[in-house]
């Protein structure tokens, strides 16, 4: 896990500016606290900041092989198998990210297909005078590009491009509307005009400072539901989980896991406990609000049942208000998911003990866990509904000019996911895998953990697990009005203490209660922010915050508070200082 950035300038344009490269490197320093490097190769420059996980002493980047140079962010879990398949190749290091360079030298177009892991990779080929950028098929690791004067720039985070002055700090209104209504933004365009995402599974080729080619591979297996019985499906799932978690544990530094009271992290705990001789280190968050969903007791019971070492933390309103400006500032590509709060605090605590944590992201998408999937499975005349048919502000009269187009990007993803043979459930899952997963859940995981120099790994987002789960019959995903049926059945035998078929309380963060405790003061501060005043009536904002103890009102207040802090940090360019109220001072 690292940070990468660089420039690819046109022939005749000024060479890469050292000041620009230094600004990008500094902006990504939090992603790579263990070292950094900058190399200029003619009109191309590569910047790398390193978080050392594999080959801690010898794995500094860039890697070189003949005319090619590579920098990477992420982990290639099957690096041992790749090395074994290249007899005679001379490796300079023991790093997991060196094999892709040699694969590229043998097959520049198809090298990434063999990689099993999470990655964003940049390879400069001096012989072909090209720069190749590629991202893993699930979009676990981020990568952004921007066409700039005289060439192209890329970086692991948009804020590196902003800090270097390569792109203007302004907002694309359509993405802002998506963010407010859905908590995340869709597609290749980011909220910053001119900054584009490299999409999951996409490879870009740049020559002479211009994009000349792009191609994309899918993370999900092709085809509709397959015919398979429950016993065979359980055996296949067990093998896939064991293989994936085993690969995801490959590390030269200590690792642990994030454990909630849910099915996904419980499954990872069960496999880790089976694979590890030493107790698994499991971190769980809870909250200080009476009546809020608190998973610490259930997680502790699961941990005890397998001899894991359980580390609970309590997140209080005082902690949140003190650190929220920092948390939001980490979300430069904004996702207003309130789960950024526990993710950030868990990472801060985990960093005291480990550098790697395994997490449960992707389980709902692969195995059909969300309630919205069950609704999407039904035709409209049986009460079925489109996913995210209503936005956060649809029933809250605050915005000056409410947009009716905020769902257009999601509708495009639904149309793209509607491949022949897929069931309604598969289409819903694939839609989430296209946008919600990479642009909310994985973005949240990446930014909140990398803010503390912690690597997050997601065993469910693995080709073997996707093959074992996505093409299951709908009845092995949803049964008796419950999602993730097969995963629950597997967990029933693997970790009975998880009580996988018991009624579960959904995971919620009590942002409404926290905001309501300071509603009047927060309402005045948020309504006065330039970013919020541009889109909402100040008097209505203040009234909304006074009613923040309502569920709908609380979520709208959270969206506006997030946007106010985000706008201040990434559009106004103000470094967050102090607590929420100090950060929102004029």
pLDDT value of position 394: 93
Task: Report yes or no: 510 and 292 within 8 Å, Cβ to Cβ.
Answer: yes
- pTM for this structure? 0.97
For 2-216, CATH number out of 3.60.20.10, 3.30.930.10, 3.90.1150.10, 3.40.50.10490 equals 3.60.20.10
Q: For 473-494, what is the mean pLDDT?
A: 96
**Per-residue pLDDT at 84:** 96
Percent of the chain clearing pLDDT 70 (strictly above): 99
How, if at all, do strands 255-258 and 281-287 pair?
parallel
Q: Does the domain at residues 230-278+297-311+327-389+405-498 carry the CATH identifier 3.40.50.1440?
A: no
pLDDT in tens, 158-185: 999 999 999 999 999 999 999 999 999 9
Q: Could you report the per-residue pLDDT of 384-440, keeping only the tens digit for each?
A: 788 898 999 998 999 999 888 999 999 999 999 999 999 999 999 999 999 999 999
Hey, where are the domains in the chain?
A: 2-216, 230-278+297-311+327-389+405-498, 511-583
Q: What is the pLDDT of residues 185-212, one digit of tens each?
A: 999 999 999 999 999 999 999 999 999 9
C-alpha–C-alpha distance, residues 470 and 93, integer Å: 37
For 138-206, give the DSSP string: T--S--EEEEETTEEEEESSHHHHHHTTSS-----HHHHHHHHHHSS--SSB-SSTTEEEPPTTEEEEE
Does the structure show a pLDDT above 70 at 381? no
Whether 2-216 and 230-278+297-311+327-389+405-498 share one fold: the answer is no
Asked whether 40 and 70 are in contact (CB, 8 A), the reply is: no
């Amino acid at each position: 896990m690292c940070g990468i950035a660089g420039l690819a300038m046109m022939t005749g344009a000024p060479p890469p500016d050292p000041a620009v490269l230094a600004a990008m490197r500094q902006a990504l320093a939090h992603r790579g606290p263990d070292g950094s490097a900058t190399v200029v190769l003619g009109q191309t420059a590569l910047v790398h900041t390193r978080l050392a996980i594999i080959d801690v002493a010898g794995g500094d980047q860039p890697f070189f092989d003949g005319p090619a140079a590579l920098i990477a962010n992420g982990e290639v879990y099957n690096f041992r198998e790749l090395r074994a398949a290249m007899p005679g190749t001379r490796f300079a290091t023991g790093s997991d990210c060196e094999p892709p360079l040699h694969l590229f030298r043998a097959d520049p177009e198809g090298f990434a297909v063999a990689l099993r892991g999470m990655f964003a990779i940049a390879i400069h080929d001096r012989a072909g005078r090209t720069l190749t950028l590629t991202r893993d098929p699930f979009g676990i690791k981020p990568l952004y590009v921007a066409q700039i004067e005289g060439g192209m720039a890329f970086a692991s985070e948009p804020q590196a491009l902003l800090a270097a002055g390569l792109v203007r700090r302004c907002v694309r209104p359509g993405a802002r509307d998506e963010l407010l209504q859905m908590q995340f933004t869709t597609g290749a365009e980011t909220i910053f005009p001119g900054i584009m995402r490299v999409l999951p599974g996409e490879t870009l080729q740049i020559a002479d400072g211009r994009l000349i080619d792009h191609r994309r591979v899918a993370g999900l297996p092709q085809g509709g539901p397959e015919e398979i019985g429950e016993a065979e499906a359980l055996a296949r799932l067990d093998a896939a989980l064991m293989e994936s978690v085993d690969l995801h544990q490959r590390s030269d530094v200590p690792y642990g896991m994030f454990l909630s009271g849910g099915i996904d992290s419980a499954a990872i705990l069960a496999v880790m406990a089976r694979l590890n001789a030493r107790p698994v280190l499991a971190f769980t968050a809870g909250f200080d609000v009476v009546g809020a969903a608190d998973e610490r007791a259930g997680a502790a019971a699961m941990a005890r049942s397998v001899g894991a070492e359980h580390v609970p933390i309590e997140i209080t309103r005082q902690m949140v208000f003190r650190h929220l400006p920092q948390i939001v500032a980490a979300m430069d590509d904004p996702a207003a998911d309130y789960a950024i709060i526990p993710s950030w605090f868990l990472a801060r605590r985990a960093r005291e003990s480990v550098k790697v944590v395994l997490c449960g992201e992707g389980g709902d998408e692969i195995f059909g866990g969300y309630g919205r999937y069950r609704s999407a499975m039904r035709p409209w005349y049986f009460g079925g509904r489109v996913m995210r048919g209503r936005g956060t502000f649809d029933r809250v009269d605050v915005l000056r000019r409410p947009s009716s187009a905020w769902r257009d990007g999601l509708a495009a993803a639904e149309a793209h996911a509607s491949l022949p043979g897929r069931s309604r459930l598969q289409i819903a899952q694939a839609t989430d895998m296209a946008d919600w997963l990479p642009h909310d859940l994985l973005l949240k995981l990446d930014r909140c953990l990398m803010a503390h120099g912690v690597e997050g790994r997601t065993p469910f987002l693995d080709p073997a697990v996707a093959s074992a789960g996505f093409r299951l019959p709908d009845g092995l995903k949803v049964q008796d009005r419950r999602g993730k049926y097969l995963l629950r059945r597997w967990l029933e035998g693997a970790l009975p203490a998880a009580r996988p078929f018991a009624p579960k309380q959904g995971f919620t963060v009590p942002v409404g209660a926290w905001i309501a405790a300071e509603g009047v003061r927060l309402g005045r501060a948020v309504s006065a922010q330039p970013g919020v005043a541009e889109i909402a009536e100040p008097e209505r904002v203040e009234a909304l915050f006074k009613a923040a103890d309502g569920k709908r009102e609380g979520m709208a207040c959270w969206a506006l508070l997030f946007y106010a802090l985000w706008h201040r940090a990434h559009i106004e360019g103000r470094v967050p200082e102090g607590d929420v109220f100090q950060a929102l001072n004029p």
